[in-house]
């Protein structure tokens, strides 16, 4: 009862504090601390469940998944990121086949689910049921081992914004403002919905420099930017210009996620400055999985939860990552 009332109160400010003006006025860091504390109180039981599942006998949980994950994991994040170009992660072939089908059907067109003109989501409701490989990939044990090790707990596939899975097309040809200044996610920023967090990005086709690749700074370089610009403190902007960022780090430190189809980037985008989708002269197709800790740094969960297909008899680890937290009647 007290949780429901508190959620109702918090949901009133959930969207307001994400406005550019509120973030500048109150300071992103302060807003995140507040939301994290609220969620730690609100979801204390759930957070304990995830933490204990990780600390008590995580290798046994991995084993139950049955797809042969090593512990400690083969892929481990260092300085906020890791790449895997082995093409050997579970379900990769099926995932790329599913992605190719979606590209053929929907690529290069404008659809109703527009986010930003230069970055469009190609997934429609029902796709996760129609193409199970989209989920099978992210809930495979090797993926969850890498993410859990970094987070220090069993993660959740994002419960609200951003969705836990997006399939994004970056395409300048679909952007009426392609010749104008860079804007929104084309500018440097840190993601603010949680920290730590992990994005798992998968290239659905080969990506080259002229396709607006995901571009980032490692965590240590990003920390120098944050310190110098007092980023996320009161009065600081959410988005930063290249000049501002490069006043604190050498542009040579900037990394780009280009490579072959099936390349995977694991990145904590809450500590690694990043941007993408700049002047994608050729369309770039990239899957994006968002995983967080159980207690996020925003308040969107007070309003709604994303739903993911999860069989009732799925192994415990997969259920922890994907199952709904709220009774169906309260969604
Ligand atoms: Fe971002």
The predicted-structure confidence for 177-233, as pLDDT tens digits, reads as follows 888 899 899 999 999 999 999 999 999 999 999 999 999 999 999 999 999 999 999
194 Cα to the center of ligand 1, angstroms = 12
Domains defined along the chain, listed by start: 2-330 (2.60.120)
What is the C-alpha separation between 257 and 170, in angstroms, rounded? 14
What is the C-alpha separation between 329 and 308, in angstroms, rounded? 16
Is residue 329 pLDDT above 80, yes or no? Answer: no
Cβ distance 5 to 265 under 8 Å?
no
Residues 183, 18, 24, 216, CA torsion sign: negative
Is residue 328 pLDDT above 70, yes or no? Answer: no
Cβ distance 158 to 306 under 8 Å?
yes
What was the pLDDT predicted at 315? 96
328 Cα to the center of ligand 1, angstroms = 30
59 Cα to the center of ligand 1, angstroms = 32
CA 112 to chain CA mean position, Å: 22
Mean pLDDT confidence for 314-323: 96
Is residue 330 pLDDT above 50, yes or no? Answer: no
Cβ distance 103 to 285 under 8 Å?
yes
What is the C-alpha separation between 161 and 300, in angstroms, rounded? 7
Residues 18, 26, 158, 7, CA torsion sign: negative
198 Cα to the center of ligand 1, angstroms = 11
Query: What pLDDT digit, counting tens, does each position of 243-271 carry?
Result: 999 999 999 999 999 999 999 999 999 99
163 Cα to the center of ligand 1, angstroms = 13
Name which of 20, 145, 130 is nearest 77 in CA terms. 145
183 Cα to the center of ligand 1, angstroms = 12
Query: What pLDDT digit, counting tens, does each position of 153-182 carry?
Result: 999 999 998 999 999 999 888 888 888 899
The pTM is what?
Answer: 0.95
27 Cα to the center of ligand 1, angstroms = 18
What is the C-alpha separation between 129 and 135, in angstroms, rounded? 9
What is the C-alpha separation between 156 and 159, in angstroms, rounded? 7
> Rounded to the nearest 5 degrees, what angle is found at the Cα of 242, between the Cα atoms of 237 and 248?
85
232 Cα to the center of ligand 1, angstroms = 14
135 Cα to the center of ligand 1, angstroms = 22
60 Cα to the center of ligand 1, angstroms = 34
What is the C-alpha separation between 71 and 193, in angstroms, rounded? 28
139 Cα to the center of ligand 1, angstroms = 22
Which residues neighbour ligand 1 (ion) by CB within 5 Å? Answer: 191
Question: Between helices 28-42 and 2-14, what is the axis angle to 10°?
Answer: 160
Residues in the chain: 331
Phi, psi of 166 (to 5 degrees): -130, 150
330 Cα to the center of ligand 1, angstroms = 30
270 Cα to the center of ligand 1, angstroms = 8
89 Cα to the center of ligand 1, angstroms = 24
């Amino acid at each position: 009862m007290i949780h429901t009332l508190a959620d109702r109160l918090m949901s009133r400010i959930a969207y307001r504090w994400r406005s550019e003006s509120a973030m500048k006025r109150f300071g992103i860091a302060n807003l995140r601390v507040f939301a994290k504390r609220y969620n730690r109180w609100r979801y204390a039981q759930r957070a304990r469940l995830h933490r204990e599942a990780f600390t008590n006998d995580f290798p046994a949980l991995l084993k139950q998944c049955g797809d042969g994950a090593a512990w400690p994991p083969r892929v481990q994040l260092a300085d906020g990121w890791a790449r895997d170009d082995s093409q050997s992660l579970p379900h990769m072939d099926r995932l790329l086949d599913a992605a190719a089908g979606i590209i053929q059907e929907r690529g290069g067109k404008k659809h109703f689910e527009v986010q930003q003109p230069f970055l469009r989501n190609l997934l429609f409701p029902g796709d996760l049921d129609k193409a199970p490989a989209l989920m099978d990939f992210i809930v495979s044990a090797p993926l969850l081992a890498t993410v859990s090790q970094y987070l220090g707990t069993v993660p959740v596939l994002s419960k609200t914004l951003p969705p836990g899975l997006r399939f994004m097309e970056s395409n300048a040809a679909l952007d009426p403002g392609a010749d104008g200044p860079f804007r929104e996610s084309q500018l440097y920023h840190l993601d603010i919905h949680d920290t730590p967090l992990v994005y798992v990005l998968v290239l659905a086709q080969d990506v080259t420099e002229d396709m607006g690749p995901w571009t980032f700074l490692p965590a240590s370089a990003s920390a120098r930017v944050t310190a110098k610009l007092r980023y996320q403190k009161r009065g600081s902007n959410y988005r930063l210009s290249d000049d501002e960022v490069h006043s604190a780090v050498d542009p040579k430190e900037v990394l780009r996620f280009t490579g072959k189809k099936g390349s995977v980037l694991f990145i904590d985008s809450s500590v690694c400055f990043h941007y993408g989708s700049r002047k994608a002269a050729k369309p770039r197709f990239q899957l994006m999985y968002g995983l967080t800790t159980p207690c996020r740094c925003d308040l969107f969960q007070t309003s709604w939860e994303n739903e993911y297909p999860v069989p009732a008899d799925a192994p415990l680890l997969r259920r922890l990552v994907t199952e709904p937290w709220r009774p169906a009647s309260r969604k």
